[in-house]
Amino acid sequence: MNATPQVLAVLDEILASAAPDERGALWHLAEQGRELDANLVRLPPGAGVSEHQEDVLDVLLVVIEGGGVLRAGGGDVLDLAPTTVTWLPRTSRRALEAGPGGLVYLTVHRRRPGLMIKPPVRTPAYEGGTPAYEGGEAPCMLDLVCPECGRLSADRAPAFCSACGEPFPER
């Protein structure tokens, strides 16, 4: 395959066309065959992303507009301003808080693998020495899988995907 570079988005245009009170993912990378994920996210003044830890992926965070603070798990507070580029290494604990003017940032990271359906794991039976399935069948959660990016929602009745912003189909 011989891929061709292309312009995917003009962030100024996306921000100008978004409603002033629109928050969350305003844009996401959605091209087929990609090995990266990227999201343009807007937080209104004072809003934040609660402390969390990403165990698998390093994330690059680039501030586009506004400002705020990044609170690291060790108690460090990093100021965020336009053009600030921050590396969020995997296993680091972090939280974001938008300043008085809000915060618009771009995140970029390696693409997460899609969900896969696998057969149950066979384990030795306690008696008789024959293999047995343990635990039965898992509940069907296909209605919680984002139709756009394939990620599983933690919300029992999602309206939008927290990863890519795509609306879920109505039930």
What are the domain boundaries of the chain? 11-110, 115-171
Pick 160 or 65 by higher pLDDT. 65
Pick 73 or 12 by higher pLDDT. 12
Mean pLDDT, rounded, of the chain: 81
Q: How confident is the model at residue 34 (pLDDT cuts 50, 70, 90)?
A: confident
From 3.40.50.1860, 1.10.30.50, 2.60.40.420, 2.60.120.10, which CATH number describes the 11-110 domain? 2.60.120.10
Statement: residue 154 has pLDDT above 80: no
Pick 71 or 150 by higher pLDDT. 71
Q: Among 13-27, 41-55, 76-90, 153-167, which is the least confidently predicted range?
A: 153-167
Statement: residue 118 has pLDDT above 90: no
CA distances from 138 to 67, 117, 134, 143 (A): 43, 10, 11, 14
Q: In 10 A of CB 42, how many CB atoms?
A: 24
- Dihedral, CA atoms, 146, 23, 103, 70, nearest 10 degrees? -50
Between CA 23 and CA 28 the distance in angstroms is 13
Q: What is the pLDDT of residues 59-110, one digit of tens each?
A: 999 999 999 999 998 788 999 999 999 999 999 999 999 999 999 999 999 9
Residue 124 DSSP code: E
Q: How confident is the model at residue 54 (pLDDT cuts 50, 70, 90)?
A: confident
Amino acid at site 47: A
